[in-house]
Amino acid sequence: MKRWNLVISLLTASVFLFAMSASARPPKKNMNNSRLAEIEIKSPLDAKTIEDAGGIFDHYRGPKAHVYLLQEDFEQLRARGFSMQWLPEERVEQGRLDTYHENAEIETQFIAWAAAYPTLFSYQSIGNSVQGRPMWVGMVSDNVGLDEPEIEVKYIGAMHGDELTGLENCMKLIDTLLTGYGINAELTEMADDYEIYILPLMNPDGRNVGTLGQRFNANGQDLNRDFPDRCWDSTNTAAGREIETAHVMDFTASRNFVISANFHGGEVVANYPWDSNYNGSSVFSPSPENALFYQLALSYAQENPTMYNHSNFPPDGTTNGAEWYHVSGGMQDWNYVWMGDKEVTMEISYTKSGPEAALDSLWRENRQSMISYLQMAREGVRGVVTDAETGNPVRANVMLANIPYVTHSSTLHGEYYRMLLAGTYSLTFSAPGYVSQVVNNVNVVGGTPTILDIQLNPAPRAEIAVVPNTISEAVPVCDTYDVNIAIQNTGDAALTWSASELSFGATNYGAGVGGGRWIDSRVAAGGPIYNWVDISTIGTQIAFSSDDQNLGPFALGFSFPFYGTNFTQIRVAANGWLSFTSSATGATSYTNLTLPATAAPENILACWWDDLSPQRTGTNIRRWTNNVDSFVVSYQNVQSFANSGLYNFEVILKSDGSITYQYASMGTNRLESATIGMQNSDKMKGVNVVYNAAYIVNNLAIKFCPAPAVQTVPPSGNVAIGSQQNVILRLSSCCLPDGPSSTMLRLTSNDPVTPVLDVPVTIDAGGNLPPTAVSDLTITIESGNVHLNWSVAENADFYSVWSSTSWPPTIGNATQIGTTPSTEFVTPVSENLLEYYFVVSEQ
């Protein structure tokens, strides 16, 4: 292999660090119609240029690389001066692939093994491919019916559907382990000490294409370019990835793998991290544990004479991945960064799917390599992490020095396996809710694992509780009602909390993001009443001369509160929205979005946000104010830009902060392409009624209420150890239907065990209100009796007296101890109680 001059490599890296953003991963292309081309590579810069153009490297034997390209990308690169040619299409040789397994045959073989070796072998599908084929994973261990504290390892074959030699070697390894158990001491010891998971065929759809299969999955994507990448795609989520990638990510996260490998064809070399770097260049890119990864790769290569003596990868058949050629989105880097799993990529055959006669010799070359590589998982430190007080297992991070890529102990048993070469190390053990523990001078001897059990002490922590823990109250229609609640800290560290409303709603009413609610006139009890305000003759015309104008500002005639800010003027946009501040035009004006959205105009009232053309003949847009408490903007007979919709709608603002949208005749065309809602100035809070969906009908009113249905006063706080904070829970029935509605008060805190606590709340809009407590109750104790006194309450016939041992007293925790028509009540003191809370309510 050609190794580039170090000075050139560093200069190239500098150029790309200035020229590229680390988040700019090239867009994915469907490569199902791609072909292999041979391209001459003269520098690492050439390799990066090819990758940016959409090329996917198959293998690289400097100075020639085999690259998958689409026709248009081939022409683009040739026009830039690359020396390149298409490679001839592969032909099926006589007898080729006769013994390569199809996906259904893997299932059949797994069923047979499970029947023949019920205690040694089990299998599962970790999910289906794009075209619905199961992805079969087999597991070999001494007792597959139990999840034991054992070393977990993983092999994956054929993530490229035309590289099938790894598939067959994975199948042969399973057979070797099963037939050798109890006979071969080395194999028996492995099955006793390990859980060996093998996915022979990661890309069953690619395997199913033609006789030879294809590299890409059914969507034309290279699965070994689809994983999260520390440099180019650093969000560790399965969302938005190919389904096969997502299944492997989810399966890997469900286990606690120590070591892994994935198998490929087309070259013979053991390739170790990093595959990727921040400048996207093909240069030597060592990981923080380069010595360990090199030794892992060497443990495989040295048992395989063809690999070890390969002249292109001197001196020992191993290579740093990025030094060979740069790959972003590779599986091995992802395993190390996010799973703590040490993975090496094994290229095991010069041909991707060799002739039938070569499969046995290929297995013999790789048999001991596959076994010796897994045995490396025993090197280093192992032990069990438990809770020092309870002895229960703890899921902990095990960090080497300051390297951020941690391994983990298992949740079920607490066992961990930290691979290390011989030497002396410092390890840090940490877990949420526990005091971290640093162990220095951990001595590791090659060939013998160091046993290090760890007991972690629980850290002082805040513990949140709420009294009462459920709330149900009647609230007058479109009014508020205050309830006293206590936020308690029963832990041994200070508590910090904040409150929010958990969004809730149903058909034709709902909540926004960050506060604010809406309800429409189809809610018979509690919804607004449609009552079109006709200003077609009394309002001032707003004349648009083009379809994306934004006119104003226009005076409201009063001060209007909107998300905590008062406004006295407003702008009117051609595309069905108003704003107190935004003068946006062009694409920002006509491209409707789900609200809230950072790309949308700020302080927007989106009554019918779509691409409209109010400058056309027949449109009548007017504004009107009474200069006291009402402002109206009316759009009548406004057409959509596409000339298929014809709409009539209006916005009504009241000085109390209420907002109503009304819709008269909205026609029958283009009714599923608009946004209805609003958002605030920083675009973080807003209400979205509908976005590009069926919703609107004629003669409809939508009312918006600025306050959440549930909020605390204050909205956040701090509670000392063993204390409580008494707060007001303010319930609002505005924009709720009459009758009971259920929601949640969400409390977010620094309690590590319960960081989010949801308190059920029921608001009965217009229901029977609770009795009103007297406001001047006094309590005195004389001669063993409690004397309660209060003033006469207007319209009270008698008074109900309640006692409780909890604060605040509620219907749920209080007991009625009597009634009286007078303003005094006497009750004995109980010798068993130290605290009393009393409530006297009017009846």
Distance from C-alpha of 370 to C-alpha of 157, rounded to nearest angstrom: 12
Question: Would you tell me the crossing angle of helices 165-180 and 103-116 to the nearest 10 degrees?
Answer: 10
Rounded CA Rg of the chain: 35
Residue 537, CA atoms < 13 Å, CB-side half-sphere: 0
Q: Answer whether 63's CB lies under 8 Å from 42's CB.
A: yes
Task: Judge whether 339 and 252 are in contact, CB under 8 Å.
Answer: yes
400 - beta bridge partners?
427
DSSP type of residue 771: P
Among 267, 347, 365, 379, the one annotated catalytic: 347
Going by C-alpha positions, the residue among 138, 150, 155 that lies closest to residue 412 is 150
Chain centre to alpha carbon of residue 573: 36
Q: Is the peptide bond before 63 cis (omega within 30 degrees of 0)?
A: yes
Distances (CA, A) of 692 to 163, 274, 671, 672: 45, 44, 8, 5
Which neighbouring-strand residues pair with 732?
Answer: 480
Within 10 Å of residue 480's Cβ, how many Cβ atoms? Answer: 14
Could you tell me the sign of the dihedral formed by the alpha carbons of 334, 337, 339, 342, in that order?
positive
772 secondary structure, DSSP code = P
SS3 label, residue 488: strand
Using alpha carbons, select from 112, 423, 388 the residue that is nearest to residue 289. Answer: 423
3-class secondary structure per residue, 298-327: HHHHCCCHHHHCCCCCCCCCEEEHHHHCCC
Strand residue runs (E) in 630-750: 630-640, 646-654, 659-663, 675-679, 686-691, 700-705, 710-713, 716-719, 724-732, 739-749
Identify the helix (H) or strand (E) that includes residue 14: helix 6-19
Q: Is 29 helix (H, G, I), strand (E, B) or coil?
A: coil
Q: Which pairing describes strands 194-199 and 151-157: parallel, antiparallel, or unpaired?
A: parallel
Phi, psi of 5, rounded to the nearest 5 degrees: -55, 135
No. of helices (H) and no. of strands (E), the chain:
14, 50
Nearest-angstrom CA–CA distance, 703 and 509: 9
Q: Is the dihedral of CA 593, 599, 600, 603 positive or negative?
A: positive
Which pair of tokens denotes residue 266? Answer: 């087309």
Alpha-carbon 22 to chain mean position: 20
Distance between CA atoms of 326 and 347, rounded to whole angstroms?
16
Per this entry, what is the length of the chain? 843
619: left (phi over 0), alpha (psi -120 to 50) or beta: beta
694 backbone dihedrals φ, ψ, rounded to 5°: -70, 125
782 is catalytic: no
90 DSSP assignment? P
Count of Cβ atoms closer than 10 Å to residue 389 Cβ: 10
CA 730 centroid distance within chain: 32
> Rounded to the nearest 5°, which phi and psi values hold at 110?
-60, -40
Specify whether the CB–CB gap between 405 and 419 falls below 8 A. Answer: no
The span from the CA of 481 to the CA of 474, in Å, is 8
**Angle at alpha carbon of residue 542, lines to 538 and 545, rounded to 5°:** 150
Of the candidates 213, 205, 129, the one whose C-alpha atom is nearest the C-alpha of residue 165 is: 213
**Catalytic sites, residue numbers:** 347
